Amino acid sequence: MQKQLMLICTFLVQLFSFSYAADKGRIHIIPEPVDVKELPGEFALDNTTTLVVSGADKQLPGTAQWFADQVAAATGFRLQQQKTAGQSKSIRLELNAKTNTTTGQEGYTLSVNNNQVTLRANTAAGIFYGLQTLLQLLPPDIAGDKVVNRSWTIPNTEITDYPRFGWRGLMLDVSRHFFTKEEVKRYIDEMVKYKYNVFHWHLSDDNGWRIEIKSLPQLTEKGAWRVERVGRWGQFAPAQPGEATPYGGFYTQDDIKEVIKYAQDRYVTILPEIDVPAHSLSMITAMPNLSCTQQQYMVGPGDSLRKRNDNVLCIGNDSVYQVLDKVFTEIAALFPGKYIHIGGDEAFKGFWDKCPKCHLRMEKEHLKDVNELQSYFVKRMEKMLLSKGKKLIGWDEILEGGLAPEATVMSWRGMKGGIEAARMNHHVVMTPWDFCYLDLYQGEQAAEPPTYGICRLTDSYNYDPVPDSVDEKFILGGQGNLWTESVANLRHAEYMTWPRSLALSEVYWSPKSKRNWDNFVERLEAQYPRLDAAHIKYARSAYNTIAIPARDGNGELTVRLTTEVKGLDIYYTFDNTDPDTFYPHYKEGELLKFPKGAAQITVITYRDGKPIGDQFAIKKDDLEKRILEGHHVY
């Protein structure tokens, strides 16, 4: 009897322990899988574990080796590929003999028990995405590049997973600041961890031409280089005649091929963008005859002269189309993806309106205004790309004057352009600036590097790419966009990208029904040690205080304080000293008023008695200015 009681007690303790572990959770995957069941027990990875690979896809062995290399870098274990399992514990990567209609082309099923890990998918791409999940089930040190002596365990689980959208992208602007091919590869490595599959490469703009066109060497000889300036973008001194132009760079076609292959090995499609007819100053610098004014310029360094907007190609000039045909012929031959992005945004039409060649074109083509002139250009570009076996995609301004018959729209000025295009039965990639622009402030501007606008982590997480009035079949997916006017190096690019792109990865991959901010924050905090191990810089702005200014009934300035992450304590001062837990503790919903003579409020957030957010000061004059200008940055 006593023995039976002991057995019952032992069982209850084990059951309680498992229930507690399950409640606490050992699985913190981003993006959230479609279905996850955590089970008791764990698989112990060690140097006896084998890697069994089964499937005919020619890319599968390389994917398996990629995984083995990731494991070896952090654990020191060398997983040997073999076709059949022996007596040892194994990780099995299997292509389905019969198609699993639930998981589709990029989904997978993952089963982990004490003796075996089994990952199944219809394609090698599905295996690759399943491996990203498997790596997230291992301890955070797996993301590092140095061997760590520790136990390496995977919680037992059953996972079924597949993406909501086929287009899950990130854009990197390499025109404003040049990023080397190795930096681009690192950026791709970071994005695939969270199941992104499109890398939008913004290769030309006013501030630099970044791709070798062999038939037009002047594009990189002149267009890839500019004067060097340090400071805040838009406030630089303009280039002076005869000033040296050492700043910039470009990718040779061999570089491009190398990066394309690198991306393909990671199941990433590269979308190249050549931004025309506007944002073309680097091209016009190399070939002044392509603009309406035909004036000679230098590549823009980020000065205020951009406001002149003489960065637009002359649509009435046949030489423009001859040059673009050469450009797109070489680009189409380099990039295997089916799309080429032609930009099409922010074209100032004033020069066209005064240009004799453009007016002659309008007369000849029976175009009633300059909007239809832009539409003529886009439609001509579409025919040019179709002749090279590619489809045109452009920013939502390509809708102006009439959309090209087969064009795909990338909607950035909110959702309106995407809605309009989808209702016309055109495919759309949703990337509205206020949810998806990674160059915007992500927290209180007083604590952030200078930029413009605001896109908080909650903004990115809570948006949905499919408006209620649109058929989801026309929404290919979406992406985050990192414009780099204020992003001069890779470390800051990482800071601006993460963690907002973690939120967007969940928007584009996970079922909408699984969206839960509090749960996301819990899983996000489990990702930070992984980002640390991988030496990836990221923002912790979601822990910072948000100051919301307003006026009371007497017109006096008030400030309400809050945070994105719940449950934090806010402490503040008005006397220019540094607050801690012995200073005034903000009460939720309280409206603070500046004491007479106070010029700023200094704030900091704590959790469990320890600082968690940045300490920073917000000037009273800045809060007044926000109210006056009607654009509160909070």
Residue with tokens 């995405």: 129
> Which residues have C-beta within 8 Å of that of residue 261, sequence separation ≥ 6?
none
Report the mean per-residue pLDDT for the chain: 94
CA 621 to chain centre: 34
Query: How far is the CA of 588 from the CAs of 443, 562, 591, in angstroms?
Result: 19, 7, 9
- Report the alpha-carbon distance of residue 415 to residue 435 in Å, rounded: 10
Say how far apart CA 533 and CA 143 lie, in whole Å: 6
**Is residue 621 one of the residues assigned to a domain?**
yes
- Confirm if 38 and 8 have CB atoms less than 8 A apart: no
- For residue 552, what is the domain's CATH number? 2.60.40
In this structure, is residue 16 part of a structural domain? no
Q: pLDDT tens digits, residue range 184-203? A: 999 999 999 999 999 999 99
Are residues 38 and 25 in contact, defined by beta-carbon separation less than 8 angstroms? yes
Q: Which of 104, 126, 161 is the last residue in one of the domains?
A: 161
Task: Say how many residues make up the chain.
Answer: 634
In this structure, the number of other CB atoms found within 10 A of the CB of residue 585 comes to 13
C-alpha span between 202 and 173 (Å, rounded)? 5
Are 151 and 198 contained in the same domain?
A: no
Nearest Cα to Cα of residue 27 among 156, 168, 207? 156
**What does the alpha-carbon distance between residue 96 and residue 56 come to, in Å, rounded to a whole number?**
10
Kindly give the parts of the chain with pLDDT less than 70: 1-24, 86, 304-308, 631-634
As for how many domains the chain has, the answer is 3
> What is the C-alpha to C-alpha distance for residues 490 and 498, in angstroms, rounded to an integer?
12
pLDDT at 81: 86
Residue 25 phi/psi, 5-degree rounding, is 85, 130
Please tell me the predicted confidence (pLDDT) of residue 12. 40
Residue 548 and residue 488 in one domain: no
Q: How many Å apart are CA 303 and CA 595, to the nearest integer?
A: 40
What is the spatial distance between Cα 406 and Cα 409, in angstroms, rounded to a whole number?
10
Q: What pLDDT is attached to residue 630?
A: 75
Please tell me whether residues 324 and 254 are part of one structural domain. yes
Residues tagged active-site: 346
The radius of gyration computed from the CA coordinates of the chain, to the nearest angstrom, equals 27
Over residues 468-507, the pLDDT tens digits come to 989 999 999 999 999 999 999 999 999 999 999 999 999 9
Residue 20 forms part of a structural domain: no
Q: Tokens 């699984």, residue?
A: 514
User: H/E element holding 53?
Assistant: strand 50-54
**26 residue type, one letter:** R
Numbers of helices and strands, H then E, in the chain: 18, 26
| The domain boundary residue, chosen from 503, 533, 563 | 533
Is the same domain home to 325 and 188?
yes
Residue 593 domain boundaries:
544-629
For residue 532, how many other CB atoms are within 10 A of its CB?
15
pLDDT of the residue at 633: 52
The answer to the question of residue 280 being in a domain is yes
Tokens of 277: 């007819």
Q: Is-contact 620 628, C-beta < 8 A?
A: no
The CA–CA distances, whole Å, from 181 to 186, 221, 254 equal 9, 19, 11
306 and 439 in a single domain? The answer is yes
Judging by beta carbons within 10 Å of its beta carbon (0-12, 13-18, 19+), is residue 376 exposed, middle or buried?
buried
Is 94 in the same domain as 137? yes
End position of a domain, from candidates 506, 533, 560: 533
Q: How far is CA 432 from CA 202, 461, 466, in A?
A: 17, 13, 12
Checking DSSP bridges between strand 208-209 and strand 204-205, what pairing results, if any? antiparallel
Q: How many whole angstroms separate alpha carbon 194 and alpha carbon 191? A: 6
Model pTM score: 0.94
Tell me the sheet residues that pair with 109: 120, 160
Residues 156 and 172 in one domain: no
Q: What confidence score (pLDDT) does residue 629 get?
A: 82
Q: How many CA atoms lie within 13 A of 224 on its CB side?
A: 18
User: Which residue's entry shows tokens 């079949």?
Assistant: 473
Q: What is the CATH classification number for the domain harbouring 288?
A: 3.20.20.80
Strands 90-95 and 116-121 turn out to be parallel
Amino acid letter, 104: G
Q: How far apart are CA 281 and CA 288, in angstroms?
A: 9
Quick one: how far is CA 331 from the chain centroid? 23
Amino acid found at 138: L
Exposure b/e, 268-286, CB count within 10 A at least 16 = b = bbbbbbbbbbbbbbbbbbb
| 528 within domain boundaries | yes
Q: What is the distance, to the nearest Å, from the Cα of residue 157 to the centroid of all Cα atoms in its chain? A: 29
Are residues 300 and 376 both part of a single domain?
yes
| Amino acid identity for residue 25 in this structure | G
Helix (H, G, I), strand (E, B) or coil at 553: coil
Q: Say whether both 463 and 526 belong to one domain.
A: yes
Instruction: Mark whether 174 and 68 lie in a shared domain.
Output: no
- Among the listed residues 121, 117, 135, the one whose alpha carbon sits nearest the alpha carbon of residue 44: 117
Residue 538 lies inside a defined structural domain of this protein: no
Q: At 88, which CATH number? A: 3.30.379.10
In a domain, 2, yes or no: no
In a domain, 539, yes or no: no
Q: Which residue has the tokens 């016009």?
A: 284
Burial group, residue 161, by CB count within 10 angstroms (0-12, 13-18, 19+) = buried
For the chain, how are helix, strand and coil distributed in percent, rounded to 5? 35, 20, 40
Indicate whether 138 and 180 sit together in one domain.
Answer: no
> What tokens does 119 get?
């990952």
Q: What is the DSSP string of 354-385?
A: H-HHHHHHHHHHT--SHHHHHHHHHHHHHHHH
Same domain, 370 and 281: yes
